[in-house]
Amino acid sequence: MVTPPQTHRSGGLPSRVARLFLRPQRAWTRGNRVDLLENGEQYYPAVFEAIARARHEVLVETFILFEDKVGLELQRVLIDAARRGVRVDLSVDGWGSPDLSAEFVGAMDRAGVRLRAFDPHPRFLGLRLHAFRRMHRKIVVVDGRTAFVGGINFSADHLGDYGPQAKQDYAVRIAGPLVAQIRQFALSQIGDHERAPPPGAIAQDAVAQGASEAMFVTRDNHYQRDTIERQYRAAIRAARSEVVIANAYFFPGYRLLKALRRAAQRGVKVRLILQGQPDMAIVKHAAELLHGQLVNDGVEVYEYCKRPLHGKVAVVDGLWATVGSSNLDPLSLALNLEANVMIRDRAFAADLRARLEAMMNAHCTRLEREAIQQQRAGWRVLLDTLAYHFTRHFPAWAGWLPAHAPRLQPLAAVAAPPAATAANDDDAGEHAAESAR
């Protein structure tokens, strides 16, 4: 079912919703169960099973949705859910999912799925010119009882059988009181502030489902401009023994870089896992500009060389962890709409740390000081200096980039004609390289 066009501005939110979602997000919620899901092999079966068992409501936000085998399976389970009376809302980003066919969209629309596209724009001479301020979140909420948050899109390039360009990434499945907050946030994004919780969802809020303390943290361009970065900085500043960060697109701001370097200088073991086989060459070149100053201050830098790294995760002191959609680069930290979950749970942190440790041991190359010094000869020193000052000032400059109230439009109204569909994996791969995030 196509919903009416909506334009979202912070001033239009009811006051109590605004107080909940537009203020700084700092509250930890106890009693959650948080499970780590690695790559599409673990994520997609968990999500599709949850949707297949839905009885009342399914909310989905994703940056990328392609018409490959993963997208078609998502379409199938959403249509089945809608036909059995479940209320289904699906939102995609207009940049990340630009070429969904009329047939693909129409089948869901006819079944009763409510489809929306975030800030869609027509192409100009075949080019997409609206790259800034994207809806980069990946969120699924089912019946107000189970939520999924992470960095995994609905596309076949998150599966190992995609080949050498298959992405390495993570998500979490959540049960417990935090799900109500994630659900209410997802509803606020589609303008549905007053929808009652599904039966059974309220009871879950009162009963602990696990031992994890967790916090749902989002980033927007109004009231939550640096919330995710502030959580990273706070955890790094408080670190006493170890910081492990795996992040696909690493070019953080000056303050986060300073926090990492100071942690290493005071004896914390700081390890960064970055892309060694990037899906975009410029990503690796940008990160390399920062290697020298980081390694000189004692930070260990590893490059993951098995396949493109797409993860956005971290572990600090075997207790604090985060999984989400936010890269540590200018787009995620200063422009895009993002969502991460912060977790305080030693068992969860140990699981994530063990997987990252195994990755470093089996598939990463540590960058040595001598090799970096050779890279930084001559003109590279100048580039390093420019990069340092760029990261220091970019958050202020970001305010000069194009800004507008985000538009959420019915997806059927902006769906591409049949000829533009990404109906097979080869086409999906071309779009994946173009969208990349």
Active site residues: 136, 138, 143, 310, 312, 317
C-alpha triplet 338, 340, 343: angle, nearest 5°: 170
Q: Per-residue pLDDT averaged across 57-61, rounded?
A: 98
- Given this model, what pLDDT does residue 253 score? 84
Residue 194 CA, chain-centre distance (Å), reads: 26
Q: Within this chain, do residues 329 and 426 fall inside the same structural domain, yes or no?
A: no
pLDDT at 433 over 50: no
Task: Determine the pLDDT at residue 401.
Answer: 64
In a domain? residue 158: yes
Q: How far apart are CA 415 and CA 418, in angstroms?
A: 9
Do 415 and 393 belong to one domain? no
Q: Are residues 143 and 288 in the same domain?
A: no
Query: Is the same domain home to 212 and 329?
Result: no
Residue 7 pLDDT greater than 60, yes or no: no
pLDDT score, position 291: 82
Residues 284, 393, single domain; the answer is: yes
Residues 10 and 127 in one domain: yes
Positions of E strands within 287-418: 300-304, 312-316, 320-324, 338-344, 364-366, 407-410
265 within 8 A of 294, measured Cβ to Cβ? no
User: In total, how many domains does the chain have?
Assistant: 2
**How many angstroms separate the CA atoms of 162 and 138, rounded?**
21
Residue 383: which domain range?
A: 227-397
What is the helix (H) or strand (E) element at residue 99, kind and residue range? none
pLDDT band at 368 (very low <50, low <70, confident <90, very high): confident
Determine what percent of the chain is predicted with pLDDT higher than 90. Answer: 63
Specify if 303 maps to a domain. Answer: yes
Among candidate residues 86, 92, 84, the one with its CA nearest the CA of residue 118:
92
pLDDT of 204: 76
Residue 1 lies in a domain: no
Tokens of 125: 């001479």
**Does some domain include residue 161?**
yes
Q: How confident is the model at residue 418 (pLDDT cuts 50, 70, 90)?
A: very low
| C-alpha span between 83 and 64 (Å, rounded) | 24
Does residue 62 fall inside a structural domain? yes
Q: pLDDT band for position 5 (50/70/90)?
A: very low
Which of 125-134, 154-163, 216-225, 278-287 is the least confident region?
A: 278-287
Q: Is residue 164 part of a domain?
A: yes
What predicted TM-score, i.e. pTM, was given to this entire model?
A: 0.86
Tens of pLDDT, residue by residue over 270-318, are: 999 999 876 666 666 666 778 888 998 999 999 999 999 999 999 999 9
